[in-house]
Copies of this chain bind each other. A is one copy, B any other.
């Protein structure tokens, strides 16, 4: 495998944080195949990026033709993730935003570039991650006057998981308190509530409220960011609808203000065949 002369290995290292040796071997292999297909003499950064996208988000699905309204909604959704990410400290910089459908159910995706390994995360880091996840829904809510869509199901799932860990494992809600709630390790035991912890009902409710409040606060912060940067949002969407894929070079507004975070890819996965068109 021959690499182009000016290949920025740092960028590749950043995106592959958390990859195993086998993952990286697979990546190099895919990149070489892509280079060969385009008759390139050496593997370029673009080849690597394309290979990463194929691995993380799946193959492009050209047959998945969205109608114009859906496509526009996906563009706002992805640009929402990207602009919120670029506005918060400690969040990984944006590598790419795309509205090309990929893999099993993705209609668009945003790839962030982790810049280092993280071993500890502060409460503020976790809250910022949730805000980035809520950026897609916040953009839809803002633009479509509250008429949100099924496109945020995965984002809500992941935001819930982070908020739930904050409250029940890291003691980050004052009311719920600084204690651990035992997860449901023993598969047959009852009395396990609220995503699998053992707690009295009133406590389980406090946990539910705390999780909800953390996500609501993050959603409001994401909304505030997008209201302030409404022009960037509209310009980004216009550009994204034209080019389908954007990097910070194409659209500097998504350039991250801060450098470090290890969130990687935020996909829109509405899984429409399951969720929105339940077979008779």
- Listed in ascending order, the chain A residues whose CB lies under 8 Å from chain B are 18, 56, 64-67, 70, 73-74, 101, 107, 116-126, 134, 137, 144, 146-153, 156-163, 165, 169-172, 176-182, 184, 186-196, 198-205, 207-208, 211-212, 215-216, 219, 260, 262-265, 267, 270, 272-273, 275-280
Cβ-defined contact, B208 with A205, below 8 A:
no
- A sample of 19 cross-chain residue pairs with beta-carbon separation below 8 angstroms, ordered by A number, consists of A64-B119, A65-B117, A66-B120, A120-B150, A121-B149, A121-B275, A122-B144, A122-B147, A123-B146, A124-B147, A137-B171, A148-B171, A188-B188, A188-B189, A190-B191, A194-B200, A200-B205, A203-B205, A263-B277
Cβ contact of A120, chosen from B70, B189, B201, B267, cutoff 8 A: B70
Query: Please, which residues of chain B bring their CB within 8 A of the CB of A56?
Result: 280
Cβ contact of A211, chosen from B101, B123, B161, B179, cutoff 8 A: B179
Query: Please, which residues of chain B bring their CB within 8 A of the CB of A120?
Result: 66, 70, 73-74, 107, 149-151, 270, 272, 276
Give 4 new A-B contacts, CB below 8 A, not counting A160-B179, A193-B200, A200-B207.
Answer: A18-B279, A120-B150, A159-B178, A159-B180
Give Cα A201 to B194, complex, Å: 9
Given contacts A118-B70, A194-B191, A198-B194, contact A178 B64 (CB under 8 A): no
| A214 vs chain B, min Cβ distance (A) | 9
- Closest residue of chain B to A213, judged by CB? B177
Cβ-defined contact, B203 with A208, below 8 A:
yes
Q: Which of A64, A150, A267 has the most CB of B within 10 A?
A: A150
Query: Please, which residues of chain B bring their CB within 8 A of the CB of A278?
Result: 158, 161-162
Cβ-defined contact, B204 with A276, below 8 A:
no
| A113 vs chain B, min Cβ distance (A) | 14
Query: Please, which residues of chain B bring their CB within 8 A of the CB of A191?
Result: 190-194, 196, 204
- Closest residue of chain B to A114, judged by CB? B277
Query: Please, which residues of chain B bring their CB within 8 A of the CB of A125?
Result: 276
- Closest residue of chain B to A170, judged by CB? B150
| A166 vs chain B, min Cβ distance (A) | 9
Cβ-defined contact, B170 with A152, below 8 A:
yes
Query: Please, which residues of chain B bring their CB within 8 A of the CB of A195?
Result: 182, 198
Cβ-defined contact, A179 with B280, below 8 A:
no
